[in-house]
Amino acid sequence: MRVIKRKGNRILTAIGAACLALTAILCNVPRAQAAVQVDMAQTGTLALKLPEDEGSADMVMDMARIKGADGTANGELDVHAWKVADMLETGRYELSGEFEGLGIEGDAWREMSLSEEGWKNLAAAAMDLIYEPDEDGKPVGEPKIPATYDKAVHVAEDGTIAEPETLAGMELGLYLVAVDTAKSPKYTYTFTPMIVSLPWSLYQYEGASGDDAWQYAREAFLKPAQEPRYGSIRIIKELTDYNASQGDVTFVFDVAARENGEEDAEIVYSNVVSLTFSEVGVKEAILEHIPAESVVTVTEIYSGANCELTVSDDESKTVIADGEDGNPVTFYFENRYDEDAKSGYGVENRFRYDTERNTYQWTTDRPGIGGGTVNGDKAEAGE
Residue 7 domain-assigned (yes or no): no
Question: Is 239 in the same domain as 119?
Answer: no
Question: 281: phi > 0 → left, psi -120 to 50 → alpha, else beta; which?
Answer: left
Question: Under a CB-based contact definition with an 8 Å cutoff, are residues 204 and 30 in contact?
Answer: no
Q: Are residues 207 and 299 in the same domain?
A: no
DSSP symbol at 340: S
- 278 with 158, same domain: the answer is no
User: Is residue 296 classed exposed, middle or buried when 0-12, 13-18 and 19+ CB atoms within 10 A define those classes?
Assistant: buried
113 shares a domain with 70? yes
Instruction: Verify that 238 and 303 share a domain, yes or no.
Output: yes
Q: Is residue 248 part of a domain?
A: yes
* Residue that terminates a domain, selected from 207, 228, 249: 228
Strand pairing category for 230-239 and 281-291: antiparallel
Provide the domain limits for residue 119: 32-228
pLDDT digits (tens, 9 = 90+) for 327-361: 999 999 999 988 765 544 444 444 444 555 544 44
> Could you say which of 211, 228, 245 is where a domain stops?
228
Concatenate the DSSP letters of all residues of 222-250 into one string.
Answer: --EEEEE-EEEEEEEEEE----GGG--EE
Do 304 and 336 have their domain in common? Answer: yes
Q: Which of 195, 228, 261 is the last residue of a domain?
A: 228
| In a shared domain, residues 66 and 146 | yes
Helix (H, G, I), strand (E, B) or coil at 179: strand
Q: What is the DSSP string of 84-116?
A: EEEEPTTS-EEE-GGGTTS---SSGGGGT---H
Check whether residue 139 and residue 258 sit in a common domain. Answer: no
Cβ pair 211, 249 in contact under 8 A:
no
The answer to pTM > 0.75 is yes
Contact 147, 175 (CB under 8 A): no
Is 237 among the domain residues? Answer: yes
Based on the fold, state whether residues 235 and 334 are members of the same structural domain.
yes
Q: What is the DSSP string of 272-307?
A: EEEEEESSSEEEEEEEEEEETT-EEEEEEEE--TTE
The pLDDT profile of the chain, 383 residues, written as one tens digit per residue, is 344 344 444 433 443 443 333 333 223 333 444 458 999 999 999 999 999 998 999 999 999 999 888 888 999 999 999 999 999 998 889 998 899 878 776 676 777 777 788 888 889 999 999 998 788 777 888 899 999 999 999 999 999 998 778 999 999 999 999 999 999 999 999 999 999 999 998 877 776 677 889 999 999 999 999 999 999 999 999 999 988 888 899 999 999 999 987 778 899 999 999 999 999 999 999 999 999 999 999 999 998 878 899 999 989 999 999 999 999 999 999 999 887 655 444 444 444 445 555 444 445 443 444 445 555 454 544 44
Give the number of other Cβ atoms within 10 Å of residue 290's Cβ.
25
Give every CB contact of residue 186 below 8 A, 6+ residues apart in sequence. Answer: 62, 65, 228, 229, 291, 292, 293, 321
Closest among 47, 45, 49 to 63, alpha carbons compared: 49
What's the total number of domains in the chain? 2
pLDDT for the residue numbered 72: 87
Distance CA 48, CA 369 (A): 42
Indicate if 190 and 135 belong to the same structural domain: yes
Residue 323: CA count within 13 A, CB half-sphere: 10
Instruction: Specify if 16 maps to a domain.
Output: no
Distance CA 240, CA 244 (A): 13
In a domain, residue 221? The reply is: yes
User: Is residue 126 assigned to a domain?
Assistant: yes
User: What is the H or E stretch that residue 60 is in?
Assistant: helix 57-62
